[in-house]
Amino acid sequence: MATQRIVLATTKVTNNIAFTRQSLVDSAASINGSKAMRQGLEHDPHYVPLGKIHSAEVIDLDDETVLAAIADDTHSVTTTVHEPTAKRIVELSFPTDERPFILQKKHTSSDNLTVTVDSENFENMNSYKSFLDIAAKQNDVVTTPSMVRRSLTPEPLIQFVESNPELSAVLAWLAFRGEKFLRYTIDETARKTGDAISDKISERLKRLLGIYDELRSPDDREVTAHVIIHVQPQIHLLTKGRGVAEHTEIGIESLCRQLELHKDLLENADSVTFERRRRDDEWTFSYATTKSGKVISSEDCYGATLRRRDEMSRTIAVCLCLEHKVTREERHYETTAVVMAVEEDGRFELKFNSVPADLEDYEIMQVSLQTGLT
């Protein structure tokens, strides 16, 4: 794609969200600032940033105001073998924009768990508001406004930002100095403190995941739990699974082991992402972003990102506007039609992700299509 001019946001209501003009002005200033907005795939944290967003401007049109910018995925790739793990590592550099990436902000300075979800992952706004109300009543939990993801069919995602200063201090002591993992094994006081905090946080995560799973849209997609720990570098932990049982404890011991294995890659990092799929799996290194604006990725993660980008380039999103036959309540649902063998016969395979089970109670009022990358 190289460069493409895109619309990032608008003052019109889109996917139940409308921005004020001032918020667009503030966003443009942030995008044009000293750090770069990442160009990812569908706002999915599992995928490596392939480019950066720059040259943002606010444009006043007749019936709306939009925030437009340049998406630039121009990057060069260098592949090496990481000696401590004997695995191939890919480094992405961005010659047209060397700014470091914008990092996730810390929402609170107290010992609170900040929770953010996407209203598009709920069947209706009532379910979304019910989740926020229940979550806000949990001890030491703060909720934030809905994430804004302009993806075709946003994957179910619940994000937790952990602000526990004790955990950050313990990780800094156990994991971000010389002989990291050795320090974990021999410093019993710090280890017990870290494990106790980890257990406390994990219980809160599971409780909120259970509430989220009950209220989100009924589809068969796995849920990603995205935990962000504010330490240097910022740690992102991704677990994907169905139901609370498939999501894991934070696991300080496994995390420290991986930080030790990859310490040479993290010397200049400002964030690092680890992932695991099943309850007893070790954390595995996915990618890191650096203070010099580069990305260091495992070959597996980079390859998965490229395959997903190719799949997205062959995707059409079908947005249905439905009206309930009795209450006349309008709802919007998205589904995807993945283009199959276009060069041969243009066949389509429909995959409905968010259509209500009681579809027969609705009338289709409008159908719209979107194509290409978002």
pLDDT at 10: 87
User: With pLDDT > 90 as the criterion, what percentage of the chain qualifies?
Assistant: 29
Residue 84 has pLDDT above 90, yes or no: yes
pLDDT at 221: 81
pLDDT at 164: 65
Scan for tokens 């999501």, then name that residue.
Answer: 247
Contact 114, 108 (CB under 8 A): yes
pLDDT at 163: 67
Mean pLDDT of 73-98: 94
Confidence of residue 37 (pLDDT cuts 50, 70, 90): very high
Measured distance CA(83)–CA(85) in Å, rounded? 5
Give per-residue pLDDT as tens, 50-75: 999 999 999 999 888 999 999 898 89
In the three-class reduction of DSSP (H, G, I as helix; E, B as strand; rest coil), residue 224 is classed as: strand
The amino acid present at 283, given as its one-letter code, is: W
Give per-residue pLDDT as tens, 335-345: 555 444 444 45
Pick from 1, 58, 52, 73: nearest CA to 25: 58
Measured distance CA(74)–CA(97) in Å, rounded? 9
Measured distance CA(2)–CA(15) in Å, rounded? 28
Measured distance CA(319)–CA(334) in Å, rounded? 4
pLDDT at 5: 87
Residue 200 has pLDDT above 90, yes or no: no
Residue 180 has pLDDT above 50, yes or no: no
pLDDT at 75: 92
Contact 91, 78 (CB under 8 A): yes
Residue 240 has pLDDT above 70, yes or no: yes
Give per-residue pLDDT as tens, 93-138: 999 999 999 988 766 556 577 888 888 888 788 888 999 898 888 8
Contact 289, 295 (CB under 8 A): yes
